[in-house]
Each structure stands twice: as C-alpha cells, then as structure tokens.
A = this chain, B = another copy of it.
Amino acid sequence: MTPLISPKSVALVGASPKQASVGYVIFENLANRFRGKAYFVNPKYDVVEAWGKQFKFYKSISEIPDAIDVVIIAVPAQVVPQVLEEAGKKGAKAAIIISSGFAEVGNKELEDELRALGKMYGIRLLGPNCLGVYNAFDGFDTVFLPAERAGRPPAGPLALISQSGAVAASIMDWAARRGIGLSIMVNYGNKADVGDVELLRYFEKDDRIKVITIYIEGFKYPGEAKRFLDAAREVAKKKPIIAYKAGRGAAAQRAVKSHTAALAGSYEMYRGLFRQAGIIEAANLRDMFDMAKALATQPLPRGNRVLVLTDSGGMGIQAVDALEALGLEVPEIPESIRRDLRRELLPFSALGNPVDVTGSATDQHYKVVLEALLPTAFFDMALVVTLMQVPGLTQNLAEYIIDAKRFRKPIAVVNFGGSEVVQSFTKTLEDAEIPTYSTPDRAAKALWALYEYAKIRGVVRP
C-alpha cells in the first residue's frame, strides 16, 4: 500500500499539455509539487514546455528508464486494460485508475478485466472512476480538479477516506481555506480492489497520521462489512477513527444505490457496526472535523467531568446545555476552592460551574481559575468560553490558556464573533494546538469525542 499512497516514483499515462484537461491538471500537480520522480506518458508528444521547464514525454511505460511505484492512468476506459498490462510488465506495484466508464455506467465486464489483470501482475488498484490520492507530505496529488477551485490543505495529522470524489474535493477546499491539516485524502471510486479496509490498515501504520476520518455511503461487496469491522476494531485501538455515514432514511438509501451502487443495509446496522468497531460517528462533515481536531491535539480525559469557564453567563449556560445533552458531567466547584477563588475574582463572579468571571473579566481571572481547578481531581476536561467582545481581555489570554496544557487535560475553547481581535486570538490558540469552536455545542461535541475515545482505548471505564 505504501507505493500507492507515498510513492517514490510515478508514471502518469495520459499526461497532456492541454489546459483544464484531466491529464493536464495531474501533470501540473506532479511536475510542480511531487517530491519523488515523475514520468509522463503520451505517445502524441516528445517534449512539452511548461512552467518554464521542458518535460520529456514517453511513448509508453516500457520506455521509462526507472522502476515505477505507481502508474496513474487517465486515458479512455477501453484503453485502460492495455495500459494496466504494460504497468504489470514494468513491475509497477500499484495503479491509480482515474478513468471512468466502468461499472458505474454498467460496464461491469471491463472492470472485472481490470481486477483480473491486477491479480495477475500483483498490482494493487485504486479506482477506477476516482480522484485517487492527495498526499501533502510528499506532494503526491492525482486530484484532477485545479487548485483554484479545489484548494489543497496543508500537511497535518488528519487523513480522509472518502467514497465520494466530489465530497472529498469540497472537504479539501474547505480544509485548505481553514488551514486544517488534512494531509492525506484517498477516494477509491468504484473500489475494484483497494477500499476502506486496506486504507485503514495503511493509515494504522503511517506515523504521520493521528486521526482517520471516513466518509462512507455503504459497502458494496458481500463480506465487506465483516472485514471492515475486523480491521477497524484493531486500528481504533491505536488511532481514533471518525466516520460519517450518509444515506440514512428510505429516500436517501435509494439515492445511495444510484450514486455508488452500495449495498442496502439499514442505518441502524451501520451504527451498530461503528459501535462494535470503536468508531466515533459524526453527525455531518463539519462535526467530523470538529472532533478530529480535538482528537489530533488533546490528551485523553480520565473521566467525564467538565469545568466550564466563561466570561459570558449566556454562553456558559449554552455550553452546559450541550454537555449535559451529550451525557458529560458539569459538577459544582468544591466549597473550599470556591472560598479561595472568591478572593481573587471580581465580587460578582459566579462560582458554580460554569465559573462566570463576567464581562468585566481580565486575562488574569482566567489564569487564576484554570490554575485553581484544572489540576485538581475534580475535573477531567475544560470548556473555556472567551468572548473577546468584552473590554478587559487581551491576546495574553491565549498564552494563559496555552500554558494550561501543562495540566495534561483536554481543553476546548469557544470564541464566537468575527472581528480581527477574535480572529487573531483564534489563530494563536489553533497554532498552539488548542482547538477552538465558534459555538458551545461544537466544543462540547469535541470533548465528548475525546471521552468516547478514552472509553474505546480503555483509559476510562465504558
């Protein structure tokens, strides 16, 4: 699998100098960003000039002077078997078949032929009818959508396995804009060979990846659910897996069948399977990455008791609403600590839980509360609301919150608004791996995910 996701040498068959074509965009990706060796194959050209450089184009794979890890195939469907055969004879370890026109349009025989050729030559196949792989670490990128439409996210601890190409592209574009470190995306299209199971196994071993996210509509093959369960159960013991399953109700399942030809199977079946496998389920795409960024950066909690610290009573209440609805505890502050806090906070601060330092708070008040409560055995996590609209808070507050990482308990911050002050505060926290959220319900869900994963890992009792 490594040659497929992190290859050292690649050949692009169907490379093209014609702008906006599939063969052009992948050519551009590989020529400008791939850190390994890239060879371009198209019998129509000898030398192509682009980006101020000259590129030799080969007539066929067999002409390439080096060994090839992965062959990327972007030629019409009927030519693909022949190219795959050449790739096999060349000794390629994997092929990514971008081309469409196979089972998804009823051409099942042609797809079976690919599968047979892959087996014969020992080549792992990704696709056909897929975006393939985006890997920010190695600059390996077979996504044929140009970067000005589908942004490329920065390297970071997250991986995405997506059954849908367009959904994956829109997630990449969204993550790129937000600086979310989604470094590896794999879209397997028709899944003639490599699917979720093989990818889970791969990400289990790739040390650069800390959290695996999955967008899935449904399984396609008999026995796939069982294989998925077996793999996920083992992988989830090492790395968190978050899955978002689309296709829940009757009309949606009809649509799934038409979209990815996935097997029917009730949503309840999938939920049960996720539970058994130790997969955390997301409610939607945003939710998936909200949880992922907490799981990628925060330590696991030893229990479910959350300290809520806020400068807005209203936001504190909303946080408690969300935490309670998710089954997390918001216990009161012990009287002994309360007495101490009262001396250091403003007279009208509320010392329940939430601790409300009020709209007249200063950075120092947050520091005092975090230091008095987070290290104690009474709390396992902190949800910190920092409405920067109030006059007394400065960017220093970010340093105090970052400093509280030394207590080795999960922290999630809520920072609602839009002004420059809010944005630069948010950026400082995120750069220091403190996850921030715009509304309390999202931060609560992230803490819930950490607690769920602590149960899956056996850190706390289920």
User: B-contacting residues of A (Cβ < 8 Å)?
Assistant: 20, 104-105, 145-146, 148-151, 162-167, 169-178, 215, 217, 246-252, 254-256, 258-260, 283-286, 311-318, 320-325, 330, 347-348, 350, 352-354, 356, 359, 387-391, 416-422, 438-441
Contacts and interface: CB of A to CB of B under 8 A. Distances in A.
A43 to B, nearest CB: 25
20 contacts: A105-B347, A105-B348, A148-B419, A148-B420, A166-B359, A166-B390, A167-B315, A167-B387, A170-B417, A171-B416, A173-B418, A174-B418, A176-B419, A177-B418, A250-B324, A251-B320, A254-B352, A258-B356, A259-B314, A286-B438
A169 B356 contact: no
Contacts of A389: 145, 149-150, 166, 169-170, 172-173
A255 B350 contact: yes
A432 B217 CA distance: 34
Contacts of A251: 320, 323-324, 330, 353
B422 A173 contact: yes
Given A166-B387, A317-B217, A317-B246, A174 B416 contact: yes
A348 B104 contact: yes
Given A169-B389, A176-B419, A321 B151 contact: no
A5 to B, nearest CB: 22
Contacts of A177: 417-419
Contact of A167 (B258, B312, B324): B312
Which of A164, A175, A325 counts the most chain B CB atoms within 10 A?
A164
A318 B284 contact: yes
Contacts of A439: 284-286
B164 A313 contact: yes
Contacts of A323: 251
A164 B259 contact: no
A166 B312 contact: yes
Given A174-B418, A359-B166, A391 B149 contact: yes
